[in-house]
Amino acid sequence: GIQVEQSPPDLILQEGANSTLRCNFSDSVNNLQWFHQNPWGQLINLFYIPSGTKQNGRLSATTVATERYSLLYISSSQTTDSGVYFCAVTNNAGNMLTFGGGTRLMVKP
């Protein structure tokens, strides 16, 4: 099946700093989503981005499908950005999401 790798696994930032999270995948994809799992365990949809670039406030994401990677940018980080960020994909043959291992982000005040 398709493999999804995320980096870095852990990230500590000072409030106000910017960061880039990376997601590599091993096959062409039909769907790519970024999620934020907050400290209460909820999985929050951030982006649906099988290709191209999208922005939502301080967050933006870019997927380069031909090179099999996606990037999530967080600018001017806040303590409420803390949590785990997951990238998940489906390939052309399947419908279920395959998740990466996540990036655990801690933003310090």
* Member of 74, 102, 105, 107 binding other proteins (CB under 8 A): 102
Based on the shown chain and the rule CB under 8 A, indicate whether residue 86 belongs to the binding site for other proteins.
yes
- With binding defined as CB under 8 A, does residue 85 bind other proteins? no
Contact map string, positions 7 to 46, toward other proteins, x by CB under 8 A: -----------------------xx-x-x-----xxx-x-
The SS3 of residue 65 is: helix
Q: Is 66 in the site for other proteins (CB under 8 A)?
A: no
Closer CB to other proteins, residue 63 or residue 77? Answer: 63
Q: How does 18-44 read in b/e, with b if 16+ C-beta sit within 10 Å?
A: ebebebebeeebebbbbbbeeeeeeee
Residue 13 CA to residue 83 CA, distance in Å, equals: 12
